[in-house]
Amino acid sequence: MTHVGEEAPEFRVESVTLESKDILQNAIDIGTKAYVISRSVDDPKSSITIKILDKLTQTWVVPTVLGTPPNATDSHSAVLINNEKIVIIEKGVPLNDSIWFLEVDTPFVKQQSKIKGTEVVAWSKGVIGEGQKPVVISGPSGVGKGTLIAKLMKEYPSNFGFSVSHTTRAPREKEIDGVHYHFTERSKIEEEISEGKFLEFAHVHGNVYGTSIEAVESVTDEGKRCILDIDVQGARSVRASSLEAIFIFVCPPSFEELEKRLRARGTETEEQIQKRLRNARAELDQSNSRGLFDHLLVNDDLEACYENLKKLLSLDDDHEDSNDSFVKDGKASACYSILSKTNSEILLQSETNEVEKGTANMLSLDLSSLSGGAPGRTRGLKISSVN
């Protein structure tokens, strides 16, 4: 880490601010392309727009923008890292809310660009510290996933939050739209999937089910650990995504017991039960797929299974994250902008330029341990005061 008084860090100016009559822009060069990030001066609260200039042909392209963009603010500072993402720090916004990444050439963006046949960029919000990994719970229909999750949410309402999926299935009696599921039309969910709003989706028991990026982000933004109840296909997709999670498969003690539970629940027709039981065999076969699930839980006695689930969850990520204290100390509530960048860190300067109680004039953002990214959040941001 570089400290004040030592040799100045290498600083390449990759971002120039161009001000035209009504637009404030950053232009960031990557190879033959320039990524221009603009906001209107007349209406600085309007959303950020992205355009790409092909410097060889001098043509402009408006890319498909995935992910949730930053909240609108007056201006920002920006710098390129690893030739694949642009770090943007929103001015006038407390640090723990102001760090954003615009992914321009990451594996996710390249893959999406191939699928869509257009230029793609993707927003991802920076999260200081690791945060607890989301928990993916899969298992055949009727095994008791929902029952276990409901117990966990009841006992620890401020620790865990449920990722509310979208589904085209009809609501059951007592199911509430927006609480148990977002009930939706097939054409609507298909449109939103094609717009890149979903972390994963699958055709399950004759309906479409999917986890929107927003469903996961709204839980993690509340500072809670996100629980996803999704089928095995969905678990596979999340495994392949940039979301780092813990994957748990819940098994029944026997196939007969599974059938008994499904029938006793009384929510499906006979035809639907048969379909769910057929799919259950396939899901049970896949539970041993190499590298897919981290833990298998047998739900025989409910209370015993619940205790095992709790043990699994507290075993994981139980370490003290030094960034947590940084956030708790209130240092992340001051506003900063980018001062300089090296290959390994970005130096941030306090916007007020005064040392307020609990804040530092200069911070170092360590670039070595970033994880995740679009779709979702970029985690692992380590920040420390520069003395």
Ligand X SMILES: Nc1ncnc2c1ncn2[C@@H]1O[C@H](COP(=O)(O)OP(=O)(O)OP(=O)(O)O)[C@@H](O)[C@H]1O
Ligand Y SMILES: Nc1nc2c(ncn2[C@@H]2O[C@H](COP(=O)(O)O)[C@@H](O)[C@H]2O)c(=O)[nH]1
Q: Does 241 bind ligand Y (CB under 6 A)?
A: no
- Residue (51 or 261) nearer to ligand Y, CB: 261
377 is known as an active-site residue:
no
- Candidates 39, 85, 125, 145: give the one binding ligand X (CB under 6 A): 145
Peptide bond into 375 cis (omega under 30): yes
* 150-189 binders of ligand X (CB under 6 A): none
Q: Does 287 bind ligand X (CB under 6 A)?
A: no
Minimum CB distance to ligand Y, residue 75 (Å): 38
Minimum CB distance to ligand Y, residue 39 (Å): 34
Q: Does 261 bind ligand X (CB under 6 A)?
A: yes
Q: Does 214 bind ligand Y (CB under 6 A)?
A: no
Going across the sheet that includes 49-54, the strands are 15-19, 23-30, 33-40, 49-54, 59-61
- Candidates 64, 71, 113, 147: give the one binding ligand X (CB under 6 A): 147
Angle between helices 255-265 and 270-286 (to 10 degrees): 140
- Residue (91 or 180) nearer to ligand Y, CB: 180
Q: Does 146 bind ligand X (CB under 6 A)?
A: yes
Residues linked to residue 100 through DSSP beta bridges, in sequence order:
88, 125
349, 248, 348, 261: which is closest to 305 by C-alpha?
Answer: 248
239 is known as an active-site residue:
no
Give the interface segment with ligand Y, choosing from 114-122, 230-238, 250-258, 323-331 (CB under 6 A).
Answer: 230-238
**Tokens matching residue 234:** 């969905």
Minimum CB distance to ligand X, residue 116 (Å): 32
d(CA 96, CA 113): 30
39 is known as an active-site residue:
no
- Candidates 13, 158, 264, 320: give the one binding ligand X (CB under 6 A): 264
DSSP string, 42-93: SSTTSPPEEEEEETTTTEEE--EEESPPPPP-S-EEEEEETTTEEEEEETTS
Angle between helices 302-315 and 145-155 (to 10 degrees): 60
The amino acid that residue 361 corresponds to is N
Catalytic residue among 12, 172, 186, 278: 172
Q: Does 340 bind ligand Y (CB under 6 A)?
A: no
| Residue nearest ligand Y by beta-carbon distance | 234
Q: Does 184 bind ligand Y (CB under 6 A)?
A: no
Q: Does 234 bind ligand X (CB under 6 A)?
A: no
Minimum CB distance to ligand Y, residue 205 (Å): 6
Catalytic residue among 239, 261, 263, 265: 265
DSSP letter, residue 133: P
Q: Does 298 bind ligand X (CB under 6 A)?
A: no
Q: Does 265 bind ligand X (CB under 6 A)?
A: yes
Q: Which helix (H) or strand (E) holds 125?
A: strand 120-128
148, 168, 92, 145: which is closest to 333 by C-alpha?
Answer: 92
Catalytic residue among 39, 276, 377, 379: 276
Residue 345 contact among ligand X, ligand Y, none, beta carbon within 5 to 8 Å by kind: none
d(CA 385, CA 331): 9
- Candidates 90, 103, 119, 229: give the one binding ligand Y (CB under 6 A): 229
- Residue (48 or 216) nearer to ligand Y, CB: 216
247, 350, 224: which is closest to 295 by C-alpha?
Answer: 247
The amino acid that residue 229 corresponds to is D
Residue 239 contact among ligand X, ligand Y, none, beta carbon within 5 to 8 Å by kind: none
Determine contact, residues 287/251, Cβ cutoff 8 Å: yes
Residue 199 contact among ligand Y, ligand X, none, beta carbon within 5 to 8 Å by kind: none
Indicate the burial class of 100 (C-beta count within 10 angstroms; 0-12, 13-18, 19 or more).
Answer: buried
Q: Does 231 bind ligand Y (CB under 6 A)?
A: yes
Residue 302 contact among ligand X, ligand Y, none, beta carbon within 5 to 8 Å by kind: ligand X
Residue 169 contact among ligand X, ligand Y, none, beta carbon within 5 to 8 Å by kind: ligand Y
DSSP letter, residue 139: -
Question: Which residues are annotated as catalytic?
Answer: 172, 265, 276
Interface contacts to ligand X, rule CB under 6 A: 139, 141-147, 261, 264-265, 299, 302
